[in-house]
Amino acid sequence: MTLEPDLVVKVDRIARRLGLTRSAFTRRALHAAIEHQRIQEMERRHREGYRRKPVRRGELTAWTREQVWPD
């Protein structure tokens, strides 16, 4: 993997502050980026589903009383 020298300096600085090696910091960052992409894809699919099949008026009103906390 090729990184710009200034990026390596920034990574090393932050990794040192966190008590991590460069590799550990990079692994953590890659895991976070993959999770971010996974969430983005789920949100895209969610939006697409509602675009293809919008909620009809009154479709969710049966759930209204489920949203009220009992006393």
Within 10 Å of residue 46's Cβ, how many Cβ atoms? Answer: 10
End-to-end Cα, the chain, rounded Å: 59
- At 32 the pLDDT is 98
pLDDT of residue 30: 98
Q: What is the pTM of this model?
A: 0.73
Q: What is the pLDDT of residue 59?
A: 86
CA distance linking residue 62 with residue 47, whole number of Å: 22
Positions of the chain with pLDDT lower than 50, given as ranges: none
Each domain of the chain, given as residue ranges in start order, spans: 5-53
Task: State the pLDDT at residue 63.
Answer: 81
- Res 62: pLDDT: 80
Return the pLDDT at 64.
80
